[in-house]
Each structure stands twice: as structure tokens, then as C-alpha cells.
A and B are shown apart, each in its own frame.
Chain A
């Protein structure tokens, strides 16, 4: 159990810069999930923390001690690999005791720890088996067990669920979360799967092209994405973005699709005429009973049982998806549906920078930023 501090961590391979200075701090016992598309540098970041790669710049601090140049074998970090990396020539027991024998623990203590971890993970009957005699889910648990018995300062997870089938993934995901809570070991978890990220994380780090796009709790990332990348990446189905310009002293948005819609929360601190993107999640857009000046022409209907996903286009050809409850009923392709965009569900982004634009509440002073979570 420990605090982890990453300070300006950067990594380049030859001419390619993979990480542009990452700053991140993990509190004791915290589970932080790094999520991002493939190639965003998340795995490299994990390998830097493990010591399997050395950074081009920046420091790694574990419990205040600089371990940037420490050999991985001396870092007291355990890692669960994507392919599990179980030692094929050893039994399950051998795999789990390997790291303990190296530490020179007495045999009784080793046996106690392995038995404990095996009981925790339901590996008891498998201790004499070899990795190739195990199923994917069992291998995954052995990999977890090997990390647990070490009682390390830090757990690293490199997409540990990506080789499991969908149903098992959901179950193991919950197991990992329960286990991590129970053991209270500080953990850094890398995944490209946003559901995994949302469900596991105390805090989420969204990475994009070697940079941190946002660090926040899962709920905050979902409710207040920091930029258009995060907004589009987190949430399924993905958020709609409608081009618009700011109007009426920053309280309204004039959509390129025609309508002028009010924005919640007061003035947006940018001059009128600033090009913006209005983001709204498909489940937040509403089907209106009467014309609203904004309509979507349906191109594809996806019935999902209890709800229906409608894909279409706005008047200005902007792609727009809408989720409605219940079956599609009489709706058909080519129909035009009036939609209403509830002001409190809108996300406003600067079109040029992609960054979130927040309103400054009327009369608001300093320190009124509470009440989100």
C-alpha cells in the first residue's frame, strides 16, 4: 500500500513521442483506471511505472521514494499482464510462490500466503495443475493470485480482462473490484474498455495521443467531460455534436441546423459569434410532440428491446442519434422527428480548442464549485 506520484513522465521511441509529460498522483489504496484508444500511450505509461521501460524525462515516486532508475525486480510492484504471462513450466503453486521464494520467506509463511490467496480466488483444487491445463478464466485468476501473494505496494493491471469472453469479463471485473477494495492495495489499471473503466475506477484518467485529457471520478467524466475527445469517447452510444455559435450574450446557442436554443446556467464567457459545439448524449435528447425548429431525419432504426436507438441527420447534415424508450412503433426510415434538447443536459465546447466551456453563474463568486458529483 502506497502513494504513487508520476511527475512529467515522458517517453519517446526514436522520433515518435508516445507520452508528453504525464502528471498523476495516486492516493493510498486508490484504484485509478487509465482509459484510451489503442496507441494513446496507456500501456507505455504502465510499463514505465513497472520499470520495464525507462522514461525519456520525468520521475516515478513510490511512497515518496524516487524509483525512476530502480530495477523492476526491486520496485515491489506486481503486475497482471494481458496474456497473464504465467510460467508454463511451473504449477499454479509454483507460479504463486516464485516471487515469495525469491524474498526468502520461510516455507510456512509461503504456504500460508499461497493458500490464503488460493482460497480467496477459488484456486485451491488447481494448485498442482500447470497453466496449459487451465481455462482462460482460471489462468486470469492465477495471474491475480501471483500478484496478491506478494502483498506488493502497487498493483498494475494491463488489460487483464481482454482475453476473456464477455460474460466472464463482467464477473471477473466485479471480482477484481471487490478484491482490490478488500486488500486496499493502490492500483493502476489500463484498459480500452470504457465500461470496465467506469465500473472499476475510483478515478479515471482519459488519455489521448500521449496526453492526459481528463482526470476525474467516472461520474464527473461522464457528466462534465473536459473536451470533445473525452465526451465522444466515454458514453455509449456516443455523444452527438452539433455545430453552433454563441448568441445573446452567451446564454443561447444558434445551431447550424436552424434552431436557437437556450443554454443552462447563465452566461458563457466567450464573445457572441464564437463557434461552439453543442454536445448531447442520445439518451438525453427528447422526442418532441410539436415542432421545435429542430428535427432529425431518420436513416436507421435499431430496436434494442426496452428502448430504440434512432440514427439520422439534422437539417445541416450533422449526424444525430436519439434514444427513445419503448419499441420503434410506427417510426420508419426517412421520417422526420422533431427533437427537444433539454438545456441542463447540454455540453458546450469551444469548436476551435475542443475544450469545455462552462457558464459563469450570475453573481457567482469564488468557491461555488461544489454540488457536482
Chain B
């Protein structure tokens, strides 16, 4: 299947990959290098002088209670978003896989949230849940809930989890739907004739056959929740109230850009980078696994 094109010499192929390499260097390698450099330095508040401090920035982070709390909060956030988004995507996919009228429209609508920019998604939820004028706020207030995510940290965390999951449900929906459709129909029919129905059929037939998809999505969703939700959280709560919705990426921004602790922020970036690399390795392994089985 694999097609190989042979170029004479090296100049042409090098020229062809140059644009991509240039982009990678400018936007990925250079900032990464800067983060490494900054992570071992301490800069004074005005940025006028900097000195080499070795691993002191890292040591300070690991010894800090607030950083540990942020890591735990991020873990909680990732787990909740991943679980909600994957369960939501799976349930919707199972329903959309049935023979129903207007299936195409239903599917298209379910994919829509994925196409909405994170900041816009946040704005939509602000319209709905803003403490004073939100469309749903009144309903919640009437139900006796003191809804004010600007004040209550728990509510704020719940909200960013909800919006984060909502955005990602569409992605999981597409993958689960594709996964369900790649299961041969006769397999499900054979199970039906064997007497399997409903939940039992799902548990013993669909779920095991979707396992490769699930493993793949698990990694992708974790990466998404940990790193791609910055815009969402930033637009909704900015990390607050207090540090209630401050995940690791948000803290990088707050410490570096707002509090101007460039060294500490860079050290956090380096830690995040290491995590991303680890998760990417996992992702490639499972993405590859999908093809092999």
C-alpha cells in the first residue's frame, strides 16, 4: 500500500519540507528553547537583570503547596471532563447509530459544538449562566439554588468542567459513531439471534469492540482537558474565583504574564511539556494500535 517517491538528490525534498520545518522552528522549537532557558534563570521584576539559578525554580514549585493543589485540581478537572465528554459522546453515538428518521440532521447537529471557537463557547455559557442576567440563572434561583459562579468556587469549577466537556462531546461522538459503524452489522445480528438485547448486548458486544476507540479517546481527551481548555477557562473565569478554576496551563499564564514570575512560569511550562510528550507517546501507541487490530 505504501507509496514511495524517490527524488534525485537532496535539494528538492529539503526545499519541499522547508516551510513546515520553518513553522515548527519558529512557533515550537524556539519557544520551547526559551522556556528551557527561562526555567533555570531568575529575572527581577523589571526584567532588567537575570541570573542563573539552576533547578531552584523547579525545587520551589515542587515544594509549594499551591502548585500541588493546582496539579490535583488539574487531575480532577481532566478526569471529570474526560469522563463526561466520553460518556456523553458514547451515549449520543449509540443513539445516532440506530435507524431513525432525520439521522443525517441529528448527526450534523451533534457535531456542531466542535466547530465553535472556545471563546465563543464560553460566551454562550455566560449568556446562559451569568449570575445576574443569565437566561438559566433565574430558573436556578427559583429552584432555590444560589447560583453565582463568580463567587462560589465549586460552582465555577463545575461550570468550566461542563463547558469543557460540552465542547469535546462532539469530537468523541464522531469517533464513537465511526467506531460503531465499523463493527460489522452481522456481528450485532448474530448477537441478537443469540438472544442478546439492550444493555447486555452493549456490554458484551459493542463495548469490547469499541475498546480501541475508547483507549485512543482517553488519551486525546486527557490531552484536551489538560492543555486545550485554556481559552475556555480564561474566557469564563480567568482561573478564579481565587484559584478555584486554576488548572496547570492557567497557572502558567497567571504566574508568568500577570505575576511576572517568568522563571517559575517557565519551569511549569517545562513540566507541562514533559507531560505532553509522555501523553503523545501514549497517543501514538494507541493510534497505531487501532490500525493493527
Residue of A nearest to B209 (CB): A89
A interface, how many residues as a size bin? 20 to 34
Task: List A residues 64-115 near B (Cβ within 8 Å).
Answer: 71-75, 77-79, 81-83, 85, 87-89, 98-99, 102-103
**Bound Cα distance from A75 to B189, whole angstroms:** 13
The answer, yes or no, to whether A146 is at the interface (CB within 8 Å) is yes
B interface, how many residues as a size bin? 10 to 19
Task: Mark each residue of chain B from 185 to 218: 1 if its CB lies under 8 Å from any CB of chain A, else 0.
Answer: 0110111111111001000110011010000000
For the complex formed, measure the closest distance between the CB of A143 and the CB atoms of chain B, giving whole angstroms: 9
For the complex formed, measure the closest distance between the CB of B210 and the CB atoms of chain A, giving whole angstroms: 10
For the complex formed, measure the closest distance between the CB of A306 and the CB atoms of chain B, giving whole angstroms: 42
Task: List B residues 142-197 near A (Cβ within 8 Å).
Answer: 184, 186-187, 189-197
Q: Are A102 and B196 in contact (CB under 8 A)?
A: yes
Q: Are B191 and A87 in contact (CB under 8 A)?
A: yes
Q: Are B209 and A72 in contact (CB under 8 A)?
A: no
For the complex formed, measure the closest distance between the CB of A163 and the CB atoms of chain B, giving whole angstroms: 12
Residues of B within 8 A of A75 (CB): 193
With contacts A88-B209, A89-B208 known, is A102 near B187, CB below 8 A? Answer: no
With contacts A98-B204, A102-B200 known, is A85 near B186, CB below 8 A? Answer: yes
**Bound Cα distance from A318 to B142, whole angstroms:** 90
Which residue of B187, B193, B197 is within 8 Å of A87 (Cβ)? B187
The answer, yes or no, to whether A120 is at the interface (CB within 8 Å) is no
**Bound Cα distance from A72 to B189, whole angstroms:** 8
With contacts A88-B209, A89-B208, A98-B204 known, is A83 near B194, CB below 8 A? Answer: no
Residues of A within 8 A of B200 (CB): 102
**Bound Cα distance from A142 to B204, whole angstroms:** 19
Residue of B nearest to A158 (CB): B186
Q: Are A72 and B192 in contact (CB under 8 A)?
A: yes
**Bound Cα distance from A102 to B211, whole angstroms:** 22
Which residue of A73, A85, A102 is within 8 Å of B184 (Cβ)? A85
Residue positions of A touching B, CB distance < 8 A? 50-52, 71-75, 77-79, 81-83, 85, 87-89, 98-99, 102-103, 146, 150
Residue positions of B touching A, CB distance < 8 A? 184, 186-187, 189-197, 200, 204-205, 208-209, 211
